[in-house]
Amino acid sequence: MIDVSNFKNDEARALYLYNILEAQATGGAGDEAAFLNLHRYFCQSQYRDVLPQWLPPMFALGQFWGFIKPKFGTYAERRTYLGQEFAPLIQACRNAGQPVGELTAIIKNFGSDTVNAEWKKMLARATTDPDGAVTMARTLLESICKHILDKYGIAYAGDASLTELYRDTAKQLNISQDQHDEQIFKKILGGCSGVVDGLQRLRGKHGDAHGKGQGHAFVLQPRHAMLAVNAAATIALFLIDTFDARKG
């Protein structure tokens, strides 16, 4: 029997669970006992919110076969689907302890289904679709800012940019650079504004929000996407923590 404590880390556990399900979906024999142990482990962990939605209700490996068999007719389609479904979990495991990992445990409690869905999309795209991840990083921050402004009853233009939304949100939360006199805080808060502006410009220049002409030579790599994702996660965590502190 597989002991979940014997794995090196949560990423190894997630990959082992993925391999069990892939074997089951492609004519092999999955390990029932290992499936149940890993299923229990992840359903009771901080990663529950990034699990495939169909996974937690299952209590036997045979249920997965009954789910996947009629859904896709070929092994290739099943592998592609599983890879997409497990991407948020594996990415969250890789980033545990970093801002992106810490935010995963918090985001669901923020009270916005839109933000929660965008967070999962951003994680899923980080390694497989760098351009899409940059787009989702900006979209995530836009949605968080709008959610906070809505809670305070602050109006904003429908076409407001991320920079504008962040400026209004920061002012409402008293974290705008010009609201503080201490130089160290002004520098830190100014740095946050710079990160937000950089994400907007990066997404506008390299993200998939706009078409690319023949002169577009720079190709975003997964490491660039992870920089954008982690930067967005840091700012998002700061906004949510500040909002919760002032709300309480």
pLDDT band at residue 92 under the 50/70/90 scheme? confident
Same domain? For 105 and 86 the reply is no
Please state, in angstroms and rounded to a whole number, the distance separating the CA atoms of residues 15 and 19.
Answer: 6
Same domain? For 167 and 77 the reply is no
Looking at 68, 94, 120, the residue that finishes a domain is 94
Across residues 71-76, what is the average pLDDT?
A: 95
Distance of CA 92 to the CA centre of its chain: 8
How many CA within 13 A on the CB side of residue 220? 26
> Quick one: pLDDT at residue 210?
45
Query: Could you tell me the maximum CA-CA distance found in the chain, to the nearest angstrom?
Result: 66
Looking at 94, 109, 142, the residue that finishes a domain is 94
Can you tell me which residue has the tokens 């650079």?
A: 177
Q: Residue 52: which region, alpha, beta or left (left: phi > 0; alpha: psi -120 to 50)?
A: beta
Same domain? For 158 and 139 the reply is yes
Same domain? For 66 and 35 the reply is yes
Percent of the chain with pLDDT over 90: 45
Beta strands in the chain (DSSP E): none
Q: Are 95 and 230 in contact (CB under 8 A)?
A: yes
Phi and psi (nearest 5°) for 120? -65, -40
Q: Residue 82 contacts by C-beta under 8 Å, 6 or more apart in sequence? A: 18, 21, 22, 25
Same domain? For 108 and 174 the reply is yes
Q: Are 220 and 206 in contact (CB under 8 A)?
A: yes
Predicted TM-score of the model (pTM): 0.59
Across residues 151-165, what is the average pLDDT?
A: 94
As given in the structure block, the two tokens for residue 41 are: 């482990």
Same domain? For 130 and 38 the reply is no
pLDDT at 205 over 50: yes
Give residue 164's domain range: 99-247
pLDDT at 214 over 60: no
Same domain? For 183 and 212 the reply is yes
Same domain? For 70 and 126 the reply is no
Looking at 66, 94, 122, the residue that finishes a domain is 94
Domain count, the chain: 2
For the chain, the average pLDDT equals 84
Q: Are 165 and 194 in contact (CB under 8 A)?
A: no
Same domain? For 51 and 30 the reply is yes
